[in-house]
Amino acid sequence: MLHVKNIALGFVAVVGFVIAVMFFGGSMPGLLGGANGLDIDGAAIPHDGPTSPLWRGWAHYGGDAGGNRYSNSDSIKSENVRELKIAWEYKTGDLGRPEKTVQRSASEGTPILVDDALIFCTPYNEIIALDPATGDEKWRYDPQINLDMEPANQFVCRGVAHWRDRSAPRDEDCASRIFMGTNDGRVISVDAISGDLCAGFGDGGIIKVDPGLDLLWPGEFQFTSPPVVLNDIVIVGSSISDNARVIAPKGAVRAYDARTGASKWIFDPIPRSADEDNIDDWKGQSLPVEGHANVWAPMSVDEARGLVFLPTSSPSPDFYGGLRPGDNRYANSVVALNGETGAVVWSFQIVHHDVWDYDVPAQPGLYSVWRDGERHDVVAQVTKTGLVFVLDRDTGEPFLPIEERAVPQGGATGEVLSPTQPFPMLTPPVVPNTLSADDAFGVTLWDKNACVKAIKNSRAKGLYTPPSEQGTLLYPANSGGANWGSAAFDPARNLLVVNMSNIVHHVQLIPADEVAEVEKVFHDSEVSPQKGAPFGMKREVFLSPLGLPCNTPPWGVIAGVDLSTGEIVWRKTLGTVEELAGGLKIKLGTPNAGGPIITAGGLVFIGAAMDNYLRAFDVETGEEIWKGELPASAQATPMTYEWNDRQFVVIYAGGQSRMGTTLGDSIIAFALPE
């Protein structure tokens, strides 16, 4: 997750910077985009793709089971989007909770449309159903999670999943169900009509998941992303605290019978016996004992093929792999499983032997790309590194070419790095991945010189520079690039739209016997022991003395990529510092969390930035053509649906405490005037 709260404080320095620029009549070449920045002018893409088969509702977290985040709805379009107004607002009441609780929360949920209800979850795992036309509450279920716990990744719930029992009468209790994973490690099933627990599932509607290891504290293991459903099976990943220890909870993916909650299968990306097919890629002195390689980001389902696609993460701990030599196959990978059995069908590793916390952070996109008159079913994976990989959905082989390239070496004592890493050959990085002293940014000469010195004092050899005791710059930061907000796909244009953050992390390895002392000195930084490894770690966003990123803005971008060719068609700045710099609407871009959606009206809708807006971009050119003010920041992905012949665009405006954005508790629906 993003650890960028100090950036919010640093943006105050922008006020003085702008005043200075105005006073001296200066210009800011390369700062706001254009020739020397990141913006690329849009080139119109011909409308020669197929008509999307997707519906005008929003039945899954990602729009459909494959995460297209696309809607056929076209009532709202570029000609009338400026007329959008707030149609209704629903408040969850969560802003009235104790401040200690609110300051550990992130409102990242995306509602789904089920029958005649809009259903979503709050950061505290309440499930709420609303009337789609008015936003009036229909029912509410509270699982009563322990709010005194310390969840590793804040209190967060990104979404729920829906399942219909086709063997049951439609009016039977729990014939239509909602599934959710909780921050305290439970899987819950409720009736989609009433919100009552489905008594036949697990123990009275609830499964308490055993993480397989005693937790260091309540909250080390949690569920944050929505389950997925394939036929009559519900499948869940998990979110586990980074860097606490080597022998940590397993990153298992679990499948349950959707009716009864009985276990169907468990997939552990890390081999636990000598006869597993990936054991040769884990070359420690004995069988691997590491944990994690978990699936904390959203999964995808191909119902026709019977496949579930997993975006796996790094093994524990993140920043030292000397105890697990080898590529560590199935970790940091897109893994396609048989949904009925949990058997691996194919896998493609995005990062070999990860020591950078470069998890696969986003939902694998199951898209249909048209090239030379033929349809190609692909899996497109956006990444923390700013790279976009496109694979054949049946085989996992590259659809757009990928090559292995040499990467920096010279890891910590005992480390055995991969000499190469995979890179797409046709699509350049969406955000930069190299930083030199010449690239340092500062609003004053003093500020910039401090960044120059800090860059020179760190290891900064580009992407995949290994962590070190000296201190290494990870660029993009291991919060992304892309993150859990994932991407959206326009099937009529072959266009993938993705937003990314453009910031740097400074990571330093600390000898194990010095971690406690370093933690006392740097109590405002993230210091973790990586217990069982010879090194702990310290991680910080790479900021100037004024608290601004040391790399040149824009610090947030949104881009369109043609998946038939790999070309970046357009790339634009995302976000202003308005909420962070005294109301000045300076388009520097901001780090962002949450993703985009696309509609047949030719629009991209997105919140995500650290200001308080929902924005609309022209899908062909990337030009921002509308923004609607919100009562709080929206680190969530919007959704859209039609109800009574009226199109609504809905977003959770609740903010993200770790990012330091404006907190709230509102679900906001925009629509054209009736």
* Cβ–Cβ under 8 Å, residues 626 and 615: yes
Q: Give pLDDT, residue 289.
A: 79
Mean pLDDT of 302-330: 97
Q: Exposure string (b/e) for 614-637, b if CB count within 10 Å is 16 or more? A: bbbbbbbbbebbbbbebbbbbbbb
Alpha carbons within 13 angstroms on the beta-carbon side of residue 385 total 23
Stretch among 40-54, 68-82, 511-525, 528-542 having the lowest mean pLDDT: 40-54
**Preceding amide of 554 cis, omega within 30:** yes
Instruction: Tell me if residue 198 falls in helix, strand or coil.
Output: coil
216: tokens are: 């260091």
Structure tokens at 483: 């993150």
Q: Summarize pLDDT for 583-616 with one digit per residue, the tens.
A: 667 789 999 999 999 999 999 999 999 999 999 9
Q: Convert the pLDDT of each residue in 428-459 to its tens digit.
A: 999 999 999 999 999 899 999 999 999 999 99
pLDDT tens digits for 227-267? Answer: 999 999 999 999 999 999 999 999 999 999 999 999 999 99
DSSP 5-49: HHHHHHTHHHHHHHHHHHHHT---TTTSSGGGSS-B---PPPS-S
Give the model confidence (pLDDT) of 382-428 as tens digits: 999 999 999 999 999 999 999 999 999 999 999 999 999 999 999 99
Output the pLDDT for position 15.
Answer: 45
What Cα–Cα distance (Å) separates residue 68 from each residue in 4, 25, 509, 604?
29, 46, 39, 13
Sheet containing strand 137-141, strands side by side: 112-114, 117-121, 127-130, 137-141
SS3 state at 450? helix
Q: How far apart are CA 441 and CA 234, in angstroms?
A: 48
pLDDT given at position 50: 34
Read off the pLDDT of residues 111-129 as tens digits, 9 standing for 90 and up.
999 999 999 999 999 999 9
pLDDT at site 4: 56
Provide DSSP, 96-150: GS-HHHHTTEE-----EEETTEEEEE-TT--EEEE-TTT--EEEEE-----TTS-
Residue with tokens 């990529």: 561
pLDDT band at 578 (very low <50, low <70, confident <90, very high): confident
Residue 282 pLDDT greater than 90, yes or no: yes
**Residue 521: its H or E element:** helix 515-521
Task: Calculate the average pLDDT of the chain.
Answer: 91
pLDDT value at 288 more than 90: no
Residues 6+ positions from 61 with CB-CB distance below 8 Å? 67, 110, 112, 158, 159, 160, 161, 225, 226, 298, 363
- Give the separation between CA 396 and CA 334, rounded to whole angstroms: 8
As annotated, the active-site residues are 357
Q: Which CATH architecture has domain 5-671?
A: 8 Propeller (2.140)
324 vs 286: CA distance, rounded Å: 10
| pLDDT value, residue 586 | 79
pLDDT for residue 80: 98
User: Mind listing the pLDDT tens digit for each residue in 332-351?
Assistant: 999 999 999 999 999 999 99
pLDDT value at residue 7: 56
C-alpha 32, offset from chain centre:
25
Confidence band, pLDDT 50/70/90 cuts, at residue 56: confident
* pLDDT for the residue 554: 96
**Res. 581: pLDDT tops 80:** no
At 365, the pLDDT band (50, 70, 90 cuts) reads very high
Query: What's residue 144's pLDDT?
Result: 97
The answer, yes or no, to whether residue 41 has pLDDT greater than 80, is no
**Can you give the pLDDT at residue 271?**
95
- Extract the runs of DSSP E, i.e. beta strands, from 161-299: 161-164, 176-181, 186-191, 206-208, 221-222, 228-230, 233-236, 239-240, 253-257, 263-267
Helix (H) or strand (E) run with residue 454 in it: helix 445-456
pLDDT for the residue 170: 92
Q: How confident is the model at residue 34 (pLDDT cuts 50, 70, 90)?
A: very low
pTM over 0.85: yes
Residue 498 to residue 69: CA distance in whole angstroms: 11
The strand pairing partners of 304, in sequence order, are none
Which whole-number Å values give the CA distances from 46 to 50, 215, 228, 491, 540, in the listed order? 12, 54, 34, 12, 44
Element containing residue 516 per DSSP (H, E): helix 515-521
Report the first-to-last Cα separation within the chain, whole angstroms.
40
Among 301, 354, 300, 298, smallest CA distance to 329 is for 354
Q: Which residues of 319-338 are buried (b: 16+ CB within 10 A; e: fewer)?
A: bbbbbbbbbbbbbbbbbbbb
pLDDT, residue 587, reads 86
- Alpha-carbon distance of 33 to 216, in angstroms, equals 46
CA proximity to 463, closest of 415, 412, 422: 422
Instruction: List the strands of the sheet with 646-653, edge to edge.
Output: 85-91, 666-671, 646-653, 639-643
Nearest to 87 by CA among 479, 644, 665: 644
Q: What is the pLDDT of residue 618?
A: 98
Distance, CA of 345 to CA of 362 (rounded, Å): 20
Q: What pLDDT sits at residue 513?
A: 96
pLDDT for 363 equals: 98
Tell which wins on pLDDT, 80 or 37.
80
pLDDT digits (tens, 9 = 90+) for 506-565: 999 999 999 999 999 998 889 999 999 999 999 999 999 988 999 999 999 999 999 999
